[in-house]
Structure 1
Amino acid sequence: MSVTHEIIEADDSSVGVLLRQDPELAEILFAEGRRQSTTLQLIAAENFTSPAVLAALGSPLANKYAEGYPGARHHGGCEIVDVAERLAAQRAQALFGAEHANVQSHSGSSAVLAAYAALLRPGDTVLALGLPYGGHLTHGSPANFSGRWFDFVGYGVDAETGLIDHDQVRTLARARRPKAIVCGSIAYPRHLDYAAFRDIADEVGAYLIADAAHPIGLVAGGAAPSPVPYADIVCATTHKVLRGPRGGMILCGSELAERVDRAVFPFTQGGAQMHTIAAKAVAFGEAATPAFAAYAHQVVANARALAAHLAAEGLVVTTGGTDTHLLTADPAPLGVDGKTARGLLAAAGIVLDCCALPHADARGLRLGTAAVTTQGMGEREMRAVATLVAGVLRGTTDPAAARADVRDLTAEFPPYPD
């Protein structure tokens, strides 16, 4: 494997240091950079961070051990990183209108674990979207801590519309009297009715936990309704549409702040990752700008355009469209299942996921538009993407030929322009 020296402009750059110290690992970084910049990134959970976020991730804050919270650390020398964490929390509170923000969670799953730890005890009953309908592993999978420690009851979606059946949610809540109700999904393309979930939770005396890992970036940009006024605890990630570093956060009211903080540290995590928290602060600052609001709305416009064009090409789009950054579709009318389709499209340089389809045995495709929108693509490019996808899946376009078209398209929209 040859090292791409031309990528390095300055010998004193951080990548230049890595190139001299460990060329084998440097080439792996270069290869991933080439992959990201020459293929279409349509995974709904991924995005390109800003250069400023990357700079914070590679900063000296990576060296600091900081167990505890600002002003109450278990290590010395935290006076500077305390400022960074306070800034991140303050920006998150202002951005989302929350009374309290914990920015230490290492991931979305860690945030959900902490939320459960703050509100529940092992064996408690929890109502959440079932995994076959788009629920996350932390919503009761038997392979996950959630399914092993708690008694999860899954609600579903209407077989005809694909929309959450709130009557079923209410019926299950009345019958099972859960300690908590979770609203959130990894593959539900419509806005959640947080007010309806709040009403059901209040009726049965349950906590409401919103797992907003996917829509939180749209919330920040005013392109999706906020769960903050309705949920007792909101769990989220800071990557995806939000364009921050890979990590999690928790938003809640002041009355649960201490319980949430204790659930994160010391109950579920140790030292905070201060470089990541600094990068979260950068992302929250960027998300508070008019430019980000315009971006968030364009993400949705692109997703709707992509859904419409895929439907026109013959794929069956779940719920008939999308309100968000993601959509799910069944490629069966084109003669392939989701798993086969993902492999064919990967060979063409189109990177996406397969997922469960509600009320179906076969798997479908899950696509997201956050990353391609970050690159500057719009509705016109979504038509071109849908045409490429359909051609490859029908077998009328050779994957190698489609790969060349993908290279041409991505060359027009580099993720990190010079």
Structure 2
Amino acid sequence: MLEAEQMTSPTTRSIAEMGWSVLARNDPGLGALLDAEAKYQTASLSMVASASVAPPSVLCANGTVMSNVTAEGYPGARYHPGAVHFDGIERLAVERAKHVFGARYANVQPHSCSSANLAVMAALLPRGGKVLALDLDSGGHLTHGASASVSGKYYDVARYGVEPDGSLDYDKILGRALEHRPNVVIAGASAFPRWLDFARFRAIADRVGAYLIADISHIAGLVAAGLHPSPIDYAHITTTSTYKQLAGPRGGLILLGEDYRRAGPDGRTELWKLMQRAVFPGFQGTPDPSSIAAKARALAIASSGGFHTTMKRVVDDAKALSDELMTLGYDVLTGGTDNHMVLVDVRTAGLTGVVAERALEECGILVNRNKIPGDPLPPTVGGGLRFGTNILAQRGMGPLAVRECARLVHEVLSGIKVQGSTDYELAGTLRESVHGRVSSLCARFPFQSEID
């Protein structure tokens, strides 16, 4: 009866209900894995800095009949028929992105921030063009010119680093720019716990006649909420992912501010037009309509008062986590944090990052290993841990609960019997004891259904 009704009068809800019913009945193995993951996320204490939790309405928007639409191009200029509703959704997402970030132009089609970064660089640089970006070992990102990335293979990349205390010295960055004379300067990081001074970065870029790209993937939620300085009118181009802190789907955005009509490298084509061409047909074919619908929903949430409250909690929680870890004797890089991120050198505790990460995961606590400045260990091992408070804040945890999280972390790390750079044992019944308290803590702070 239900399936017959859905066939004659389909709605997004009825299709989703029918889909789950059929999946559970005809593919129980896959259904069981999906259910197991939902339970796992609910009961795990995730402090992964590069993640947030998409609310149910975002997940719903990301799994709709829009996936059946194939339409290359942009609204009003598609290369396929049948895009009338997709056009409306993409226009909605674009307007919401511009509103949330105060931008003059937004492209919502990138499948990730990585693809957005590569498209932007290709639009601004010839092969072999010069780039100045934060070194990977100092907290930079692969797509900012790391040797393992295509960006490091196609471009001539010079790097700036952090100081021994983990801070940025902008005078030294200027010196590197004057020495290298880059075409593009990139401001952005995947593991940097302090504010980025985008005004200083723009002054450096202007001094050498370079374009400034700001990658705010990890801090986009704080920027949207006004809790971190915005690069929109300092950077020529801003990029971001939509899942790391915006609680959206997998995907990316390209944003332009006051310079959106500035001429590009050819001296004629406006930057916004270059960005259009760079994404399609430059780096992508068909966009993902369902992902764009989910971006539209996430951006609506990001403009709400509830989102601002959550982002304020993110910052407060990170400071509490940092303070408690330092009180417990851990070496916290830069002595604290301005954003959601806390970086810890676990070598001073006699551990490696991978040992600490795996031991914590056994106990239901998710934190990722990370290289730290001056780290001689390979990325697969690492000498540090990167903590983040996005998901803790989404659970509604405040500073007191976060301090409890820090003490659970300490209990695990101090109970590790190290047997090598990647091998260890956990003392006695530590795993079961901590896992039980993690489950209880997560039950006390279940995920909020929606934050707006």
TM-score by length of 2: 0.88
Instruction: Please list the CA deviations of residues 245-292 of structure 1 after superposition, one character each: whole Å capped at 9, or x if unmatched.
Output: 111000014321110010000010010100100110011111111111
After superposition, the Cα gap between the structure-2 partners of 1:21 and 1:195, relative to the gap in structure 1 and judged at 3 Å, is: same
Q: Residue 404 of structure 2 aligns to which amino acid in structure 1?
A: A
Match among 203, 214, 232 for residue 199 of structure 1? 203
Counterpart mapping for 1:104-143 below 5 A: 104-143=109-148
Shift of 1:213: 0.6
Give the match for residue 259 of structure 1: 274
Q: Which residue of 384, 407, 417 maps to 1:387?
A: 407
**Secondary structure at the counterpart of residue 103 of structure 2:** coil
The aligned amino acid for 2:277 is: R
1:324 and 1:211 mapped to 2: Cα distance?
Answer: 15
What does residue 367 of structure 1 align with? Answer: 387
Determine which of 431, 439, 446 is the counterpart of 1:407: 439
- SS across alignment from 1:234: strand
Shift of 1:359: 2.1
Local SS of the residue matching 1:240: coil
Q: Which residue does 1:162 correspond to in 2? A: 166
Q: Does 1:337 align with 2:352?
A: yes
- The Cα shift of 1:16 comes to 2.6
Is the 8 Å Cα contact of residues 314 and 333 (structure 1) preserved in structure 2? no
Query: How far apart, in 2, do the equivalents of 1:339 and 1:236 lie?
Result: 28
- CA 1:411–1:164 in 2, change beyond 3 Å: closer, same or farther? same
Q: Which residue of 2 aligns with 1:311?
A: 326
| Partners of 1:43 and 1:367 within 8 A in 2 | yes
Q: Secondary structure at the match of 1:270?
A: coil
Aligned partners of 2:290 and 2:322: how far apart in 1?
Answer: 37
Aligned ranges 1:9-408 → 2 under 5 Å: 12=17, 14-159=19-164, 161-252=165-256, 253-255=259-261, 256-362=271-377, 363-395=383-415, 398-408=430-440
Give the secondary-structure state (helix, strand or coil) at the position aligned to 1:227: coil
Q: 2:360–2:366: 8 Å Cα contact kept in structure 1?
A: yes
- The number of equivalent residue pairs is 408
Residue 226 of structure 1: SS of its match in structure 2? coil
Pairwise CA distance, 1:12: 4.1
Give, in angstroms, the shift of residue 14 of structure 1: 3.8
Q: Deviations over 1:219-251 (max 9, x none)?
A: 111111101010000010111111111110000
Partner Cα separation in structure 2 for residue 400 and residue 198 of structure 1: 51
Residue 174 of structure 1: how far off its partner (Å): 0.5
Give the distance between the partners of 1:410 and 1:80, measured in 2 at CA.
40
* Shift in alpha-carbon separation, 1:11–1:103, aligned structure 2, 3 A: closer
Q: Helix, strand or coil for the counterpart of 1:77?
A: coil
Taking the aligned partners of 1:79 and 1:360, their CA distance within structure 2 comes to 53
CA-atom RMSD in angstroms: 1.6
CA deviation vs aligned residue, 1:349-374 (integer Å, no higher than 9, x gap): 10111111112325200011101111
- The one-letter code sitting in structure 2 at the alignment partner of 1:181 is V
* SS of corresponding position for 2:245: helix
Shift of residue 11 of structure 1?
11
Q: How far does residue 13 in structure 1 lie from its aligned partner after superposition?
A: 5.2
Contact 2:56 2:449 survives alignment (8 Å): no
C-alpha distance in 2 between matches for 1:205 and 1:61: 43
Deviations 1:63-117 (A, max 9, x none): 1011100000010011110000000001111111111000000001011011101
Cα distance in 1 between the residues matched to 2:289 and 2:445:
32
TM-score for both structures, normalised by structure 1: 0.95
- Equivalent residues of 1:335, 1:394 under 8 A apart: no
14-23 or 270-279: which moved more?
14-23
Aligned to 1:4: none
Residues in 2 aligned to 1:326 and 1:74: alpha-carbon distance in whole angstroms: 43
1:142 is displaced (CA, Å) by 1.5
Q: Find the residue that maps to 1:236 and give its secondary structure.
A: strand
Cα distance in 2 between the residues matched to 1:175 and 1:18: 59
Identity across matched positions, percent:
44
Which deviations, in whole Å up to 9, do the C-alpha atoms of 1:302-353 show, x marking residues without a partner? 0111111111111111101111111110123332121111111011110111
Per mean C-alpha deviation after superposition, the further-off stretch among 337-346 and 392-401 is 392-401
SS in 2 for 1:210: strand
Mapped partners of 2:126, 2:311: distance in 1: 37
Q: Which residue of 2 is the match for residue 5 of structure 1?
A: none
Specify every segment of 5 or more residues in structure 1 that has no aligned partner in the other structure, as ranges: 1-9
